[in-house]
Structure formats: C-alpha cells, structure tokens
Amino acid sequence: MKILTKIVTLLLIIFLLIPTFCFADDELLEDLEEFEVYEASNLSTEEPSTNAKSIIVIDRKTLSVLYEKNAYTKVAMASTTKIMTCIVALENSSLNDIVTVSKKSASVRGSTLGLITDMQISMNDLLYGLMLRSGNDCAIAIAEKISGSVENFSILMNQKAKELGLENTNFVTPHGLDDENHYTTPYDLAILTDYALKNEKFKTIVSTKTATISFNGYPRTISNTNELLGNLEGVYGVKTGFTFEAGRCLVSACNRNDLDIIVVVLGADTKKIRTQDSANLINYIFKNFKYVNVSSTINKAFSDYTTYFNKNYFLEKTTDTPILKLENLDNYYFPLETNGTVQLSTKIYTMNKFSSNVSKGTKVGKLYLYNNDTLLCDIDITLENELSKNTWSYYFWYIIRNFSKI
C-alpha cells in the first residue's frame, strides 16, 4: 500500500511539472522574475544589446523606425493578438452590450478570466478582462457576440488588417493560441497598435493598472499583466503575450517630453528578457533621440529647385508657365539620433515636359528627405495651375510670324 501511495504521489508530481503547450499569456504560470528598470540618465549612449528574436521601435508622430531587429519577419504573436480583438470589438459593438457566455468560451484553455457557462457580462467588462487579464475566454465571448463564431470574427480581424495595410499579418483566432496560419511581424503589430491607441477607450483600457468589474453579479478587481505599467516612467500600455511558439512578448507605448513611441518585443526566452529589452530600448530612445524641425531644409531645397526648374522645362500645346506646388506634411518634426551626426539632404525629381493634357493637381514629382542617407519622408509635388490649350489663333499667328522670317 505504501508503494502504491508513493507511485500515485510521484505520478501527480510529474503531471504537475509537465508543461501544457496551450497557454497564451498565462501570467499566473510564469515565473515572477524580478527585473531592474534603469533610469535613462544612467544609460550609455551606445545602442543597447537586445536578446529577443524580433523587435521594433517606432515613433508615433511620423511612424519612423528608430530601432529594429527582424522587424519584417513573420512570427507568432500570442496574446498581443488581443490588440486587434479589442479594437475590432470597440468598432463593432456597444460597451453596454450584455454577453451570455457559451460553453466554448467558458472551457477554453490557457489564461482566462474564469467565465462560467450562461453567465452574463457586459462588453465593457469583457474588454477589461481581455486586455488586463488576457482572458482567452473573454476573447471567444467577444467574438461570438459580434460575429456568431470565432471563424467569422477572424474575417473581421483580417479585414481590418487589410484596411491598415498589414501585409504580413493573418488572424485565425481572437486570443492568439498557436496556429501556423496565425502570424504577424513586429512592424505590422506596431502599426496596428498605433491605430488602436487613437481610440480613447482602447487607450484607457490598456493604461489601466487595476479595474473593478462586475463578475457574475459580484464586484471583482483585476490587475494588468503588463509589468512595465506603473514601473517605468511614461509607459501607458499596451499588451503582454506568451505561448511556447511565440515566446515572451510585450508591446509597450511610452511618452516622455512629447516623444511618443511604441516598442514591440517578440520571441524573448524569458519574461525578464522581454522586460529588460523593452526597458533598455525605451530609456535609450529617450536619451538619444529628439525631434528636429526639418521645415527649413525642405523649403530651401524646394525654393532652389524651382529656380532651376523655371529655366529648364519644355512646353507642348500650351504657352502657360507651369507652377509647382509642394504638398504639406502633417508634421515637420522628425525624431533623430542627435548624439550622432544629423546630416539632412534632399533629392527632387519632377517632369520637365508639360502640355495642356497635364491638369491642375496632377502629381508631377517628389521631394525626398534624408538623414545620413536614411529616407525620412517623401513629399508629392503637384501642378498648381491649369495649362490652357493653344487656340487656332495662336497657331495662325505662329505661322505668320515664322513665314515672315523666311
């Protein structure tokens, strides 16, 4: 009997130690590793080394890439998927909608809020459970409420991805459990996050450290799984993630002194690595980058070019002088690494032959702005005025003038 008891005990221990390969961002199962958050003032100006497999840092004002490593390679995304789930839900439902939890939702594996079959919960509370506790059950409940099924909801997710130009992203589920057809890139995920953060409710949810929701008729306080939120200056979101295929993932948004960035870290081996990579990158960017006003460089280059252009264009079927217009940028401030050398330069290309067939507003060229040979932006050059077609009288007098020279 003692031997049988020992065998049963041993089997139970082995069962508990076997990893379950289905968890999407189950923070309850992760090691609660301590991490250090270094202040920017103590950091070197050298680019920090990073250990995660795929990384990107973008500036939200210009969508400029400030740092990247394998940023355009397709990878699993785990529960960072829920960024898309949340924004699609916000755009296709009401926060006051009441959702009845299905058996499928209540029985999903991985990280959950703990929904119970047939319980009722508001869409608002589901979204907090989705983004703070990374509830896979919340993800399915949301999908079924909006689209009737996970499969139909994924169609909405992919439609939104296409609308945003996320060419290397595909969604199969609203929660992010591993699937070979469920993938993104750090760059696509950063662009999606920037879009989602423009929704004030989304921004409020992901920046919330703790929230009290109504759970099966009782108040329940839940905490955010994002370890940087409240621990690193300026961080205001966004989402953690973990599966065995995706590794440890973290998407962060941080704002200091008007510089607003998104950091995507995917495929870290440990939670400590994803945390430290994110913190080091955030502090490095804020120590070494600042906004530089490029308007004077652009305007001078265009002015110089128009002087050249006015002496070097050709006309056909019109005698009107073409006037070039440089379109306006939404923003003339670019984040540049000012500890290095800022060397701005431009290249301008335009048509040189114009006729009455070229109508007002037609794009006739571009101005390209570079910093140390890195393209910062390109700006359309258009035709400012209409070019009238030569009339029969023009040709009549043209013949007379030239005939008299014979």
Q: What is the pLDDT of residue 357?
A: 84
Q: Is 82 a catalytic residue?
A: yes
Task: Report residue 283's pLDDT band, with 50, 70 and 90 as the boundaries.
Answer: very high
CB 206 within 8 A of CB 237: yes
CB 55 within 8 A of CB 277: yes
Q: Is 40-291 in CATH node 3.40.710.10?
A: yes
Please tell me whether residue 362 adopts helix, strand or coil conformation.
coil
For 284-343, give the DSSP string.
Answer: HHHHHEEEEE-HHHHHHHHHHHHHHHTTS-EEES--PPP-EEEPPPS--EEEEETTS---
Environment class of 366 (CB within 10 Å of its CB; exposed 0-12, middle 13-18, buried 19+) = middle
* Bridge partners, residue 121, by sequence: 99
Residue 348 has pLDDT above 70, yes or no: yes
Q: Is 134 a catalytic residue?
A: yes
Q: What is the pLDDT of residues 303-331, one digit of tens each?
A: 999 999 989 888 887 888 899 999 998 88
Q: Is 214 a catalytic residue?
A: no
Which residue among the candidates 102, 134, 147, 252 is catalytic per the annotation?
134
Residue 254 has pLDDT above 90, yes or no: yes
Highest mean pLDDT among 86-100, 314-328, 339-353, 387-401: 86-100
Q: What is the pLDDT of residues 165-194, one digit of tens each?
A: 999 999 999 999 999 999 999 999 999 999
Helix (H) or strand (E) holding 103: helix 103-106
Residue 368 has pLDDT above 60, yes or no: yes
Domain with CATH 3.40.710.10 in the chain: 40-291
% residues pLDDT > 70 (the chain)? 84
Residue 39 has pLDDT above 60, yes or no: no
Domain with CATH 2.60.410 in the chain: 294-392
Which residue among the candidates 79, 102, 105, 154 is catalytic per the annotation?
79
Residue 282 has pLDDT above 70, yes or no: yes
What is the model's pTM? 0.81
CB 297 within 8 A of CB 315: no
Residue 33 has pLDDT above 80, yes or no: no
Domain 294-392 architecture: Sandwich (2.60)
Which residue among the candidates 82, 145, 160, 239 is catalytic per the annotation?
82
